[in-house]
């Protein structure tokens, strides 16, 4: 009991780390302070910094004193990022002065695919490549073919595509659920070159894991990865399912995986457990330039929204750019909003709580009655 009480009080302290280097988005020096776990840090800092960035622990702080402590412990930092769990009981202690960016968002695809998807150039190009290459699909004998899929397709795909930023499913954790999984293999000239696991553990089936054999770049170029999605969705539609989960994606709108899934009709539905609480400490020109390059999916009350940052004059022009609106308004979010940046407003409070600093650029894309619950 005493140990539990001690652990409870220790949990009110956060260890802060400073990250500094050259921004990969703006080519300007940037310093960020906060708390992120190893896998999140690997991904996020890899997106924000060029190789060679530096990290160092700077000290600890009580939860409710983090912004003040961050300024004292890392005077050069202009951005504060804290990774916290959704169900973390300490969350209210952080206050409301943060943007709540989901670390991961779940996505689903409606079946059959809507004509607004199948008529798009991106979709047609994927299907054309699959047919040209001659890929076909087979439902595999799970027990006999699993080792081939796991060792030669899944592991190479995950390790090369994501590095240390994601958790790898342990072989045993998958095998134990074999009665609720189905293995599809993508064939080329009678050889298995890619595959995917479909999970039936929930009411909505999920494309659980995909991989191209040895992540062969030539096979990917010819459409092997696209074939996994194409035949997987086709297989589930034939089985009578109307929805399929395509798992989680990062909430950065420029993330390649998030945009790739969009080609197949993904709509985001709700966030997973962790959030990146984000707060601007100092709205320097370099910080504002970084935010302009960092569009995100963000939680706003009980909804998910697409969010971009821009100076007011720039936002006026962007609002009239159909291409900009289409790219940044992610399907399934309740709308596209722009945060107005200013050198006189340091954004030290949550901009979503300041209507004067927001501008709605596009209305909700969710189907009628489709309410996204993020609580």
Number of helices (H) and strands (E) in the chain: give both, helices first: 14, 17
Alpha carbon distances (Å) from 85 to 18, 57, 252, 276: 21, 21, 18, 9
What pLDDT is stored for residue 120 in this prediction?
92
Query: If you average pLDDT over residues 23-39, what whole number do you get?
Result: 94
Task: Based on the fold, state whether residues 119 and 84 are members of the same structural domain.
Answer: no
Q: For residue 325, tell me if it sits in a domain.
A: yes
CATH number at residue 132: 3.40.630.30
Looking at per-residue confidence, does 155 or 118 come out higher? 118
Query: How do residues 219-264 score in pLDDT, each as one tens digit?
Result: 999 999 999 999 999 999 999 999 999 999 999 999 999 999 999 9
What pLDDT is stored for residue 165 in this prediction?
42
Question: For residues 48, 50, 52 and 56, what is the CA-based torsion angle, rounded to 10 degrees?
Answer: -20
Looking at per-residue confidence, does 162 or 269 come out higher? 269
What pLDDT is stored for residue 32 in this prediction?
97
Query: How do residues 313-359 score in pLDDT, each as one tens digit?
Result: 888 889 899 999 999 999 999 999 999 887 655 555 677 776 667 88
Cβ-contact 174, 182 below 8 angstroms? no
Task: Based on the fold, state whether residues 97 and 122 are members of the same structural domain.
Answer: no
Task: Based on the fold, state whether residues 91 and 126 are members of the same structural domain.
Answer: no
Query: Is the pLDDT reported for residue 372 higher than 80?
Result: no
Query: Is the pLDDT reported for residue 375 higher than 50?
Result: no
What pLDDT is stored for residue 164 in this prediction?
44
Task: Based on the fold, state whether residues 233 and 126 are members of the same structural domain.
Answer: yes
Domain that residue 286 falls in: 2-104+271-362
Q: For residue 368, tell me if it sits in a domain.
A: no
Task: Based on the fold, state whether residues 185 and 295 are members of the same structural domain.
Answer: no
Task: Based on the fold, state whether residues 81 and 131 are members of the same structural domain.
Answer: no
Using a pLDDT cut of 70, give the percent of the chain over it: 83
Alpha carbon distances (Å) from 319 to 49, 83, 253: 29, 31, 17
Of the residues 241, 260, 295, the one at which a domain ends:
241
Q: For residue 215, tell me if it sits in a domain.
A: yes
Q: For residue 254, tell me if it sits in a domain.
A: no
Task: Based on the fold, state whether residues 26 and 130 are members of the same structural domain.
Answer: no
Alpha-carbon gap, residue 306 to 105, rounded angstroms = 12
Task: Based on the fold, state whether residues 83 and 137 are members of the same structural domain.
Answer: no
Q: For residue 255, tell me if it sits in a domain.
A: no
Q: Round the average pLDDT of the chain to a whole number and report it.
A: 86
Query: If you average pLDDT over residues 294-323, what whole number do you get?
Result: 91
Looking at per-residue confidence, does 139 or 163 come out higher? 139
Mention every residue, 6+ apart, whose C-beta is less than 8 A from residue 306. Answer: 253, 295, 296, 297, 298, 328, 329, 330, 333, 335, 336, 337, 362
Q: pTM for the whole thing?
A: 0.86
- Other beta carbons within 10 angstroms of residue 184's beta carbon come to 24
pLDDT band at 107 (very low <50, low <70, confident <90, very high): very high
Q: For residue 157, tell me if it sits in a domain.
A: yes
Residues in the chain: 375
Query: How do residues 176-222 score in pLDDT, each as one tens digit?
Result: 666 688 999 999 999 999 999 999 988 899 998 889 999 999 999 99
Cβ-contact 198, 236 below 8 angstroms? yes
Task: Based on the fold, state whether residues 205 and 287 are members of the same structural domain.
Answer: no
Q: Which two tokens stand for residue 55?
A: 């990290």
Task: Based on the fold, state whether residues 116 and 236 are members of the same structural domain.
Answer: yes
Looking at per-residue confidence, does 144 or 50 come out higher? 50
Cβ-contact 228, 196 below 8 angstroms? yes
pLDDT band at 101 (very low <50, low <70, confident <90, very high): very high
Task: Based on the fold, state whether residues 30 and 129 are members of the same structural domain.
Answer: no
Q: For residue 182, tell me if it sits in a domain.
A: yes
The DSSP annotation for 277-321 comes to: EEEES---HHHHHHHHT--EEEEETTEEEEEEEEEHHHHHHHTT-
Give the number of domains in the chain: 2
- Quickly tell me which residue has 């007011």 as its tokens: 312
Task: Based on the fold, state whether residues 183 and 213 are members of the same structural domain.
Answer: yes
Q: How far is CA 91 from the centre of its chain?
A: 21
């Amino acid at each position: 009991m005493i140990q539990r009480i001690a652990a409870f009080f220790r949990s009110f302290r956060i260890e802060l780390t400073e990250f500094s280097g050259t921004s990969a988005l703006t080519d300007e020096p940037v310093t960020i302070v906060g708390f992120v776990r190893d896998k999140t840090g690997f991904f996020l800092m890899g997106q924000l910094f060029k190789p060679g960035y530096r990290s160092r622990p700077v000290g600890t702080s009580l939860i409710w004193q983090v912004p003040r402590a961050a300024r004292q412990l890392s005077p050069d930092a202009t951005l504060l990022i804290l990774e916290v769990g959704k169900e973390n009981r300490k969350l209210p202690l952080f206050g409301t002065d943060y943007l709540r960016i989901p670390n991961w968002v779940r996505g689903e695809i409606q079946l059959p695919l809507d004509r607004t998807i199948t008529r798009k150039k991106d979709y047609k190009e994927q299907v054309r490549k699959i047919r040209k290459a001659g890929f076909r699909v087979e439902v595999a004998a799970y027990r006999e073919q699993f080792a081939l899929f796991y060792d030669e397709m899944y592991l190479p795909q995950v390790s090369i595509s994501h590095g240390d930023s994601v958790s790898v499913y342990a072989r045993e954790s998958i095998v134990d659920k074999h009665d609720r999984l189905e293995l599809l293999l993508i064939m080329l000239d009678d050889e298995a070159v890619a595959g995917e696991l479909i999970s039936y553990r929930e009411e909505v089936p999920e494309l659980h894991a995909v991989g191209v054999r040895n992540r062969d770049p030539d096979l990917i170029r010819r459409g092997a990865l696209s074939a996994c999605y194409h035949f997987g969705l086709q297989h589930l539609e034939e089985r009578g399912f109307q929805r399929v989960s395509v798992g989680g994606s990062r909430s950065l709108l420029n993330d390649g995986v998030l945009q790739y899934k969009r080609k197949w009709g993904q709509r985001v539905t709700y966030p997973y457990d962790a959030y990146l609480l984000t707060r601007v400490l100092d709205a320097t020109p370099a910080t504002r330039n970084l935010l302009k390059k960092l569009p995100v999916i963000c939680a706003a009350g009980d909804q998910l929204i697409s969010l971009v940052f821009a100076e007011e004059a720039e936002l006026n022009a962007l609002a009239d750019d159909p291409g900009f609106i289409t790219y940044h308004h992610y399907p399934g979010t309740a709308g596209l909003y722009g945060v107005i940046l200013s050198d006189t407003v340091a954004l030290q409070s949550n901009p979503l709580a300041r209507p004067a600093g927001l501008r709605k650029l596009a209305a909700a894309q969710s189907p009628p009655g489709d309410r996204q619950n993020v609580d």
